[in-house]
Chains A and B, each alone.
Chain A
Amino acid sequence: MSLPGEPSLTRRPIIKFSNASFAYNNHFALEKITLNLHEGEFVGVIGPNGSGKTTLLKALLGLIYPNEGSLQIFDCACEALRCRHRARIGYLPQKERTDPNYPITVQEVAMMGRYGAIGLFKRPTRGDREIVLESLDAVNMADKQKKAFGHLSGGEQQRVLIARALSQRPEILLLDEPTTGIDASTQRRLSELICRLHQKYSLTIVFVTHDINMISPIAETLIVLKNRLHAIGRPEEILTKEILSPVYGEEVIVAERDQRPYIIVHDTHNHV
């Protein structure tokens, strides 16, 4: 294992894992993770299937708690993070998770992002509707707000789900393989959109993906997981054969394309 050390950021740490382990059925999915993620940082999380990427997201979403060690979000132990703070964390799930036949309009999907902040027994106000419209506008979907969500293309649906996350007015945005199952040009537009939103709203982004070549040009920091924290650092520090081969196997090739490292992995997910 190699740990080139964290990037020297002067920004405030917003997420702190301290020796945190997460287990399902007595099996550790992530073990002894210690790392800090900072305000406004764009973090890419990579690793092969089963390396603990989704577990990391679930932990940040408050769906699972550490069995050992601790996880602090906004200076608060994750177990004690209350509803209104949870709303400060936006989430874009994997595309397949949503049912395309569910009868719901674009506006209704985006409004769901407000529900945590609105609270029980209350109805959305004009202010909530304005925030939703602004979020849909930020992803260029405002003109389609009355359309049925199920009738949109995959890329458009992802944009609406990003708008839902933005409607929460989040400080942290978690993305779980958002570009899977979408064609290459839509993928590119989607990652450009995420970069723009990162700048515009000063979001802390945790972007989980299997696509190393897509994430490395846009992330400030890369995290490589292999059920432990295998490496963390700037993309150019991470994308080396020494760091990647213990995770992806000896066959990993670090080539160069457009003066950037280009990784070829013998993995069913990664296309050459």
Chain B
Amino acid sequence: MFEFLSYGFMQRAFLGSTLIALSCSVIGVFAVLRGVTFIGAGTAHAAFAGVAFAFLMGFPPFLMALLFGLSTVWVTSYVQEKGRMKPDVSIGVFYTFTMALAILFIGLMQGYRPEIYGYLFGSILSVTKGDLIIIFGLSLGILGLLALFFKEFHFISFDQEMAEASGIPAKRLSFLLLNLISLSVVIALKAVGAILVFALLVIPAAAAQQWAKNMRSMMIYSAIIGVSSSWSGVLLSYWLDVPSGATIVLIAASIFVLSVLFSGKGKI
């Protein structure tokens, strides 16, 4: 029954999806509590534009995805710092602008490039050894920084102004946190796809919030929900021959709905 685990691509899919689910679902807790989940959606679409640009120019796709994805945070933080507009507005503008760029870049390409659509819809089963090394290194970095600044991130998520007044470098740490959220989305892009990666950031954390009494338990629940959705999604997509990204998200969404209905906390 488990002979599929002897296949290299399945091993990579399991390992990759575990790391991606862990980093997205754990950092998703901060994104949900700070109310900055939209930065994840903005990053995903900007990163996709980066991939399209890379294919057009012959650059490495991951590097361009990283550059375009993180620029969402840099641009919106700059605009907010200048007090020009709220972040949801600037992310909304940047999101659609980069998506238009992506469509333009695809239009400018010579011939049909099917691999680019892999980044749009995601394919965990196509994760290569090289991808896995990048995913491993960056996930470890994200989780390490989260552990290092846990108490500060916790404080700024609860009350940023108070954290700043207490002498914590709240603005700089808040910027770091946004970059980490964005980075988690970029590393998950190829496996889950630009359209669905946002779900991996939001859904496990939102489901976990229905049950959690404190931050630590919310992180643990979110990680369990994220990883178990990914594993069952990978398995189902293999057995039923259906798209992996969509299966993962649908399982996570089902857990979310059950959590809202049965936790007793999330009465709508």
Contacts and interface: CB of A to CB of B under 8 A. Distances in A.
A97 B33 contact: no
Contacts of B1: none
B162 A91 contact: yes
B162 A102 contact: no
B161 A115 contact: no
A84 interface: yes
Interface string B118-155: 00000000000000000000000000000011011011
Given A98-B159, A103-B214, A116-B168, A123 B151 contact: yes
Interface residues of B, number: 27
Contacts of B168: 83, 115-116, 120
Given A83-B167, A112-B158, A115-B152, 16 more contacts: A63-B165, A82-B167, A93-B159, A98-B158, A99-B33, A101-B209, A102-B158, A103-B213, A105-B213, A105-B214, A112-B154, A115-B166, A120-B152, A123-B151, A124-B151, A168-B166
Contacts of A103: 33, 209, 212-215, 217-218
Please list the 7 inter-chain residue pairs (A to B) with the smallest Cβ-Cβ separation, ordered nearest first: A83-B167, A86-B167, A116-B166, A61-B165, A116-B167, A103-B212, A103-B218
B81 interface: no
A134 interface: no
A98 B154 CA distance: 13
B158 A63 contact: no
B165 A112 contact: no
24 contacts: A25-B83, A61-B165, A62-B164, A63-B164, A85-B167, A86-B165, A86-B167, A91-B165, A97-B159, A98-B158, A102-B157, A104-B214, A105-B214, A108-B154, A112-B158, A112-B159, A112-B166, A113-B166, A115-B152, A115-B155, A116-B167, A120-B152, A120-B168, A121-B148
A95 to B, nearest CB: 12
Contacts of A123: 151
Contacts of A118: 151
A148 interface: yes
B33 A86 contact: no
Contacts of B152: 115, 120
B163 interface: yes
Interface string A71-113: 0000000000011111101010100011101111100110011
A93 B169 CA distance: 19
A105 B213 CA distance: 7
Interface string B159-192: 1011111111100000000000000000000000
Contacts of B83: 25
B162 A112 contact: yes
B77 to A, nearest CB: 18
Given A103-B217, A148-B213, A63 B161 contact: yes
Interface string B199-234: 000000000010011110110000000000000000
Contacts of B165: 61-63, 86, 89, 91
Nearest to B165: A61
